Amino acid sequence: MTSLAERLDRQLPTTTALVEVENLRVSFGDTEVVRGISFTARPGECLAIVGESGSGKSVTARTLVGLTGSNASVTADRLDLGGADLRHASERAWRRLRGRQVGFVLQDALVSLDQLRRVGDEVAEPLRLHGWGTRRSRPAKAIELLDAVGVPEPEVRARQRPYELSGGLRQRALIASAIALDPPLLIADEPTTALDVTVQAQVLDLLAAAKERGTSIILISHDLSVVARLADEVAVMREGEIVEYGAASQVLQEPRHEYTRMLLDAIPSEHTRGTRLTGSTARVRRPVDEGVPVLQARNLTKVFRGPDKVDRTVVDDVSFELFGGETLGIVGESGSGKTTLARMALAILRAEAGEVLLRGEPWTALTPGQRRPLRKQIGVVYQDPLSSFDPRWSVGRILTDALSTAAHPPSSQTEARQRAVRLLEQVGLGEHHLSAAPLRLSGGQRQRVAIARALAPEPSVIVCDEPASALDVSIQAQVLDLLTDLQDDLGVSYLFISHDLGVIHHMSDRILVMKDGRVVEHGSADDVFERPRHPYTRRLLTAVPRLRPA
């Protein structure tokens, strides 16, 4: 039998599939997580495998490099890479294949690169493992690779450690290490998920360049709009099965399967404004109360002193007004100061200068004791609700605790229970969730409980800090719908923070665009998105991956 390398060296025609998988099944114990899927990947093309969490997409990716796990059982009618049958490959054979025939890029290089080793050593590791070059020639090759993926000053970066690099540079370094030996197949598992939108665009360009050079790419993603930028073919996975598989243009523009349609509809964007994401019905808005703003920030400034004793202005002279029943979106990339701004608005972080008024009255200027009775007017929902719950408390206890701070706290246990149940019903849960522990709930249910808790004291404002960013797109749609429904019912105002421009556009009436602590653009959602004035806003908008032209 000819070896894989020899077969690849024979320059098979580009139409020949590089990867051929038929009826792949993976199970852990009695649970089958991949249920008989088939796909092919061709050189110079990108196959995207799309699905929500638990769909089996990452397990599929790992199976292609033999890293499914020792407790997994894998069967397939066909599992070929470059003509070599991998169904019964030994561990040694897999190891020769990994890094050399298949490069693998995981998400978030902050945890996917070894933080204690120098970037250069990490990039050169596949070279060393596969006996490329010598101890002296490898560092130079690593620098060359870093340069090739667009890392500036590669000599300096190679000597640094991953935590000293920005998110974008780290991810490039991770890709550099995956393509070090120029493998014919590159598998990228959520390669842009933790990145800012502009950086995400750069990383996708990098993968596109590899595709141009003839590399076959298998892109694993939950994000259909990211996929649209790169994929030639798309396979949509749900619960271990491929429900739709075809050319990218067909799957994304004329989806045939109902699940694909649901996924596409659930993506918030300018097209979904004013409608619900699930079911696509129009919202029934309450008029915004243009009287006294419920929340008003005047010239807020926050300075943090770094470990190097240098002061950094994280929020610089920011002012805004939020009216009753309105949503003010704050959008910016990581480090833009949006969360710091939210914490100052909540008066849990003291501003160096400026103040916040709540319903026209002093708020941040008060002492903590004076603030306490007013706190019920402003609620908060975080990205990760689990860390904001006491894990030993039941949902019922979380809610009754929150109810006790209301203007009219429940007078008896029975009343507390009734009101907790009413809150759960408002957020689409039920009485049977009262006794549940937050740990046992799904991500979407947890976020619903967090929203119910924020609603308990009947606030006029809720600060939402990336409330749906950690959720699958279908669950994100439900949570966003819940927030808009509550606004239409109760007239609550949202200070809504997100890095996701689609979500911001879908949710907001007015928008602040933040960069490096400053507001660079401020206006109605339509003005900011249709007629952006600031170059940074324009750059953000062009970087957003889109399913279809706006």
Partner 1 sequence: MIRRILSKVVASVAVVVAAASATFLAQLAVPGDRATALMNLQTGQDKKWTAQELAPLNAKYGFDDPIVVQYLHYVTGLFRGDLGTSYTQKRPVAEVIGGQLLPSVTLTVAALAVAWLLALGVTLLTVKRGRILSSLGSAWEALTASLPHYWVGVVLLVVFAVQLRVFPIIGGTSAWGTVLPVLTLAIPLAGFLGQVTRDEFTQVLEQPFVTTARTRGMSDLGVRLRHVLRHAVLPAITLSGWALGALISGAVIAENIFGRPGIGQVLVTAVNTRDLPTVSGIVLVVAAVYVVANLLVDLAYAVVDPRLAR
| 34 strand-pairing partners | 26
**Is 190 near partner 1 (CB under 8 A)?**
no
| 39 strand-pairing partners | 21
**Is 97 near partner 1 (CB under 8 A)?**
yes
Among 116, 282, 284, 407, binds partner 1 (CB under 8 A): 116
Using H for helix, E for strand and C for coil, what is the string for 349-393?
Answer: CCCCEEEEEECCEECCCCCHHHHHHHHHHEEEECCCHHHHCCCCC
Which residues, 289 to 348, sit near partner 1 by CB under 8 A? 307
Among 57, 100, 229, 510, binds partner 1 (CB under 8 A): 100
Nearer Cβ to partner 1 (99/532): 99
Specify whether the CB–CB gap between 259 and 241 falls below 8 A.
no
Among 4, 65, 228, 345, binds partner 1 (CB under 8 A): 65
C-beta neighbour count of 534 within 10 angstroms: 15
Query: To the nearest whole angstrom, how small is the minimum distance from the Cβ of residue 473 to partner 1?
Result: 22
Specify whether the CB–CB gap between 76 and 87 falls below 8 A.
yes
What is the rounded end-to-end Cα distance, in angstroms, of the chain?
A: 53
C-beta neighbour count of 271 within 10 angstroms: 15
**Could you give the count of Cα atoms lying within 13 Å of 535 in the half-sphere of its Cβ?**
0
**Is 263 near partner 1 (CB under 8 A)?**
no
Nearer Cβ to partner 1 (117/261): 117
Among 7, 42, 130, 397, binds partner 1 (CB under 8 A): 130
**Is 95 near partner 1 (CB under 8 A)?**
yes
Interaxial angle between packed helices 395-403 and 413-426, expressed in degrees from 0 to 180 and rounded to the nearest 10: 110
Residue 467, classed as helix, strand or coil, is coil
Query: To the nearest whole angstrom, how small is the minimum distance from the Cβ of residue 96 to partner 1?
Result: 7
Calpha distance 341→338 (Å, rounded): 5
Which residues, 35 to 64, sit near partner 1 by CB under 8 A? 62
Sole window of 101-109, 151-159, 387-395, 470-478 interacting with partner 1 (rule: CB under 8 A): 101-109
Pick from 374, 384, 392, 379: which is nearest to 452 by CA? 379
Q: What is the DSSP string of 287-341?
A: PPB-SS-SEEEEEEEEEEE-TTS-EEEEEEEEEEEE-BT-EEEEE--TTSSHHHH
Among 40, 177, 377, 400, binds partner 1 (CB under 8 A): 177
**Is 370 near partner 1 (CB under 8 A)?**
no
C-beta neighbour count of 469 within 10 angstroms: 14
**Is 425 near partner 1 (CB under 8 A)?**
no
| 523 strand-pairing partners | 511
Residue 450, classed as helix, strand or coil, is helix
**Is 106 near partner 1 (CB under 8 A)?**
yes
Among 40, 60, 63, 112, binds partner 1 (CB under 8 A): 112
Query: To the nearest whole angstrom, how small is the minimum distance from the Cβ of residue 417 to partner 1?
Result: 40
**Is 115 near partner 1 (CB under 8 A)?**
yes
Residue 393, classed as helix, strand or coil, is coil
**Is 29 near partner 1 (CB under 8 A)?**
no
| 461 strand-pairing partners | 378, 493
Nearer Cβ to partner 1 (179/344): 179
Among 7, 25, 35, 161, binds partner 1 (CB under 8 A): 161
Among 39, 49, 98, 450, binds partner 1 (CB under 8 A): 98
**Is 102 near partner 1 (CB under 8 A)?**
yes
Residue 293's contacts (CB-CB under 8 Å, 6 or more residues apart) are 321, 322, 323, 357, 360
Nearer Cβ to partner 1 (27/177): 177
C-beta neighbour count of 465 within 10 angstroms: 21
Residue 32, classed as helix, strand or coil, is strand
Sole window of 142-150, 171-179, 267-275, 409-417 interacting with partner 1 (rule: CB under 8 A): 171-179
Query: To the nearest whole angstrom, how small is the minimum distance from the Cβ of residue 76 to partner 1?
Result: 20
- DSSP type of residue 439: G
Query: To the nearest whole angstrom, how small is the minimum distance from the Cβ of residue 158 to partner 1?
Result: 15
Query: To the nearest whole angstrom, how small is the minimum distance from the Cβ of residue 162 to partner 1?
Result: 9
Specify whether the CB–CB gap between 375 and 363 falls below 8 A.
no
Q: Which two tokens stand for residue 260?
A: 């694909």
- DSSP type of residue 457: T
Residues in the interface with partner 1 (CB under 8 A) total 32
Nearer Cβ to partner 1 (108/458): 108
Nearer Cβ to partner 1 (104/323): 104
**Is 67 near partner 1 (CB under 8 A)?**
yes
Q: Give the footprint of partner 1 on this chain (CB under 8 A).
A: 62, 65, 67, 95-100, 102-104, 106-108, 111-117, 125-126, 129-130, 161, 163, 174, 177-178, 307
